Amino acid sequence: MKLGRTLGRGGRPLRIGYGRIFHEGCADSPVPTTEADFRRMHHLEGAELEAAAGLRGTELKSFFPHAELTGFLQASRAAGGVDAVPLSSSLAVPSGPVTRECFEWLLERLTTRLREAGPLDGVYLALHGSMDVVGLEGSPEAEIVRRVRALLAPEAMVAASFDLHGNMTPALVEQLDVLVAYRTNPHWDLAPTGFRAGNRLIRALRGHVTPVKAWRKLPVVLGGGMTIDFVSPMRAVFRAMRAMEQRPGVLATSLFMVHPFTSSRELGWSVHVLTDGDQSLAERVADELADLAWQASETPIPEFYSADDALARAATSPWRRLGPVTLVDTDDIVGAGAPGGSTRILEALVRSPRPLRALIPIHDPALYATLDGEALGSVHDVVVRGTPGYAQPEIALRAKLVARSDSELGRRVLLAAGEAHVAICAEPPLPIHPRFWAELEVDVRAADVMVQKNFFHYRIFHLGYSFEHIPVTTSGATSVRRVLERAQRVPVRPSMTLTDWREGDRALRS
């Protein structure tokens, strides 16, 4: 059954449904993502969703009080005459591929609410763009939009916003009337992104603008330095995008620096441009933006160190006297979907000749369970194995159980073995904030070395005392080496030396 269409003009409000299915997948994580993960983190429907996305509500608890859907509701309110209809909203933290059962459950919740919503003029969806679903070829987000479209009248419009790490595909882009992406990395502009999507969609539904699009897909999976929006080389690209949007007729510009850790064989950066009815303008701006992004992608990502070299460098670092040197475990980035159970830095520390007061978080739910009932102060001979199924070296330690914590930062116990302090975690650890260690009665500022499972965001919380940041490669689920070894359908940077993006673009968009 097709839902009927209403015009939303002549004094009758526009009816627009809104919802979210949001997950960033990591193909090499042995931890699958299930319905329970979404239910634990974020799953709201109907009136509950409407309240959470209001200005007095909390949309994504413990992340963002106001995210995309709050922004969308604000755009609806600002436009006036819009009846915004809450559907369903689901988000889980980045982790392994979503199981097929879970994906069908997510779609079932969204489409059930859509059927119950009655006639709609349009739908707005907050998506990630780099979901990975077990056994599903092609873009999961394209499948989500396809199922939504199947329930709408042909004239209804669909808008979607994305994380700027999304992997755009022809099947996805072609189905969308309005497409926008975050403009900040790390991401803080979730609500403004939802506002822009809602604003463009409402104007289009009212016939005030006629969105036409052009996009390009660049044969790049890694590049652009640290890909931070306010740091060279990407700063100049984001600044140019804002200037492009000031040109008459340009409705939106988007840049995607793809999350490279899904199972897709068609990964690539992309650019997307929406104009008001002017196809040739859209094509010209898309080419211009693609040229800028291509140029910026020549800047390589930072150089990585082995765990042994990183510890040696930290031991002699002059910055160590001012606070901990940070080792970024780039192969086990929990914020990008890795499980956080790598034992390789601990292994290097154990064999290091230099005693370093080190803080190391490790996901090891089995070891956590055996230590959970033990008394503080007790001494144990333990074997740290990391995440089950993660093929990590086993590290034998004689260690004292010195603290435990159970908070929104996860369940964990602290083991002290000589100078090494290891937080054994029941859940994938994200020690971005010093509170992760403070809750275990550890002052991070007194450490020589602290291990992070996050690329950049943690720096905001350790600005005053951690001055050296060493990227470490340890062979885990977010390994850049594995990205480079994974076969892609077309030659891509940086595995191949390419002088032009156009040939790759034609292949990737065909």
Applying CB under 5 A, among 20, 165, 213, 320 the residue interacting with Zn ion is: 165
Q: How far is the CB of 64 from Zn ion (least distance, A)?
A: 13
Considering only the stretches 68-76, 165-173, 250-258, 344-352, report the one whose residues sit in contact with Zn ion under the rule CB under 5 A: 165-173
Q: How far is the CB of 241 from Zn ion (least distance, A)?
A: 17
Applying CB under 5 A, among 121, 163, 276, 329 the residue interacting with Zn ion is: 163
Residue nearer to Zn ion on the CB measure, 37 or 347: 37
Burial class of residue 240 (count of CB atoms within 10 Å of its CB; 0-12, 13-18, 19+) = middle
Residue nearer to Zn ion on the CB measure, 261 or 501: 261
Considering only the stretches 158-166, 233-241, 399-407, 479-487, report the one whose residues sit in contact with Zn ion under the rule CB under 5 A: 158-166
Residue nearer to Zn ion on the CB measure, 156 or 191: 191
Q: How far is the CB of 1 from Zn ion (least distance, A)?
A: 37
Return the DSSP state at 2. Answer: P
Q: How far is the CB of 351 from Zn ion (least distance, A)?
A: 35
Considering only the stretches 70-78, 162-170, 192-200, 421-429, report the one whose residues sit in contact with Zn ion under the rule CB under 5 A: 162-170
Say whether residue 200 binds Zn ion (CB under 5 A). Answer: no
Q: How is residue 215 written in tokens?
A: 């996009």
Give me the residues paired with residue 17 across strands.
Answer: 85, 123
Query: What's the CA gap between 436 and 411, in Å, rounded?
Result: 10
Considering only the stretches 73-81, 163-171, 418-426, 458-466, report the one whose residues sit in contact with Zn ion under the rule CB under 5 A: 163-171
Query: What's the CA gap between 175 and 143, in Å, rounded?
Result: 10
Q: What residue number has its CB nearest to Zn ion?
A: 165
Contacts of 507 (CB under 8 A, 6+ apart): 219, 489, 490
Positions of E strands within 13-110? 14-22, 42-45, 82-91
Half-sphere exposure of 372 (CA within 13 A, CB side): 12
Contact 180, 155 (CB under 8 A): no
Residue nearer to Zn ion on the CB measure, 113 or 183: 183
Considering only the stretches 164-172, 272-280, 408-416, 485-493, report the one whose residues sit in contact with Zn ion under the rule CB under 5 A: 164-172
Considering only the stretches 5-13, 76-84, 159-167, 499-507, report the one whose residues sit in contact with Zn ion under the rule CB under 5 A: 159-167
Residue nearer to Zn ion on the CB measure, 129 or 323: 129
Q: How far is the CB of 249 from Zn ion (least distance, A)?
A: 29
Query: What's the CA gap between 501 and 109, in Å, rounded?
Result: 40
| Strands ordered across the beta sheet of 469-472 | 379-384, 395-407, 410-417, 420-425, 358-363, 449-452, 325-329, 469-472
Return the DSSP state at 445. Answer: G
Nearest alpha-carbon partner for 133 in 30, 31, 25 = 25
Q: How far is the CB of 257 from Zn ion (least distance, A)?
A: 9
Residue nearer to Zn ion on the CB measure, 37 or 163: 163
Q: How far is the CB of 204 from Zn ion (least distance, A)?
A: 26
Residue nearer to Zn ion on the CB measure, 165 or 421: 165
Burial class of residue 62 (count of CB atoms within 10 Å of its CB; 0-12, 13-18, 19+) = exposed
Query: What's the CA gap between 202 and 124, in Å, rounded?
Result: 10
Residue nearer to Zn ion on the CB measure, 110 or 258: 258
Considering only the stretches 156-164, 199-207, 321-329, 489-497, report the one whose residues sit in contact with Zn ion under the rule CB under 5 A: 156-164
Q: How far is the CB of 164 from Zn ion (least distance, A)?
A: 6
Residue nearer to Zn ion on the CB measure, 95 or 352: 95
Positions of E strands within 307-394? 325-329, 358-363, 379-384
Q: How far is the CB of 79 from Zn ion (least distance, A)?
A: 28
Considering only the stretches 86-94, 137-145, 161-169, 283-291, report the one whose residues sit in contact with Zn ion under the rule CB under 5 A: 161-169
Contact 41, 92 (CB under 8 A): yes
Tokens 């460098």 map to which residue? 313
Contact 280, 304 (CB under 8 A): no
User: How many chain residues interact with Zn ion (CB under 5 A)?
Assistant: 2
Return the DSSP state at 62. Answer: T
Q: How far is the CB of 402 from Zn ion (least distance, A)?
A: 35
Q: How far is the CB of 335 from Zn ion (least distance, A)?
A: 9
Residue nearer to Zn ion on the CB measure, 368 or 458: 458
Which residues would be at the binding site for Zn ion (CB under 5 A)?
163, 165
